[in-house]
Amino acid sequence: MTNKIKLLTGIVSVILVLTGCDAKETTQTSETTVTTQSEESITETTTETITENVTTSSGPIVTSDDVTTAEETVNESDESTDLDTSIYDDFLFGNQTADISGYAEYPCYSIFDGFDKLPSDCTLNEITDQANSNFDSYAPQIDSVISYTYIDCGRDNIPELLVRLTGDAADETELTMIFKDYDGQIKMCYAYITWSRCTISINKNGYLAMYGSSGAYSHNFTDAYIDADGHYQLLTDTIFEGMIDVINCYPGLETLGDNLLNSHAWNDGLYIEGFRFSKDEPYYVTFRFIDNIEPYENVYTEGEYYDIYTTSEVLFVLPDEQTQLMLDNYADKQCGDDFMLNEELEWNELKQ
């Protein structure tokens, strides 16, 4: 089985769960110095299953041993790239500002509360001071640990700067911001929050793997990337929903949800799996069952659930067809194994 097939079956049948980084106590001083993070190597592994066994008679059996892993490790080395990163030195050391107006794209993130009171162009100290005050709203704590690294979105040999703020609150809240130089003007081009129920990893090419959960039966996996211009590009948005009574809340799945409410879906342990390649597109949908227990033979080609899915005005696909559609999507967007699974990032601690 190739890496790409393993990754795809992982996206389809296994929701990636990332472990958060431990915060390390930092003493804040007025002088800015750079040190390499020397704590024990922290590994975030993106391979835990949503259940021990979720499969179908038509689709491949997927277990945690089958899924290709992507790791993010904090290392001691500061020589992580041959990219010319000097364009960010002044910003890192407080001698240059960055345009942070892009934060407004993330209104649901309370970590950005108060950012509207900051000037549109801020020093890194101003950004981190405001973020730290917001971290305190989660739980009283020491100031966050600040670390940074560089990636190459679009693999054009032009670096982007990642700045990460790790709080010590119980919910493992962490803020990561991506900065890009646009002809001498540094701008925040993307930012994301992770916490105990929403984890995101990023690799050296700007590939993002995002997992979120709103409960034991509701999960979402999204993979995307930041392109060479600093723009977010969606690859796949996947939902895995076992709460039958909320399926009709998803756009385009209203009729399907209503019809499943009047079925044996609850008793049979049915999950719907929906995926799309653009937020403007409808979901393709298929279904699976918890504990590998299919209620009857030929469940994907006849019977109660086949009838519901084929008469509910949705794009119903078989599991094998789902895998092929996702393979084609990655091929069309030229996102192969080497792009999605790259060497781990090396983070450096920034003390202020």
Are residues 162 and 151 in contact, defined by beta-carbon separation less than 8 angstroms?
yes
How many angstroms separate the CA atoms of 271 and 286, rounded? 9
Q: What's the pTM? A: 0.74
Of residues 170 and 337, more confidently modeled:
337
Distance of CA 131 to the CA centre of its chain: 21
- Residue 205 banded pLDDT, cuts 50, 70, 90: very high
Q: Which residues contact 295 (CB under 8 A, 6 or more apart)?
A: 264, 268, 289
Which of 27-36, 67-76, 120-129 has the least mean pLDDT? 27-36
Of residues 135 and 36, more confidently modeled:
135
Q: Which residues contact 151 (CB under 8 A, 6 or more apart)?
A: 159, 160, 162, 178, 202, 203, 204, 205, 206, 345
Instruction: For residue 167, give the amino acid letter.
Output: G
Q: What letter does residue 40 receive in the DSSP assignment?
A: S
Q: Mean pLDDT of all residues in the chain?
A: 75
pLDDT digits (tens, 9 = 90+) for 85-124: 999 999 998 899 999 887 655 544 556 667 777 888 999 9
Question: Is a pLDDT exceeding 50 seen at residue 254?
Answer: yes
Are residues 151 and 82 in contact, defined by beta-carbon separation less than 8 angstroms?
no
Most confident among 36-40, 46-50, 147-151 (mean pLDDT): 147-151
Q: Residue 55: what pLDDT?
A: 35
- Residue 352 banded pLDDT, cuts 50, 70, 90: low
Partners of 174 in the β-ladder: 166, 194
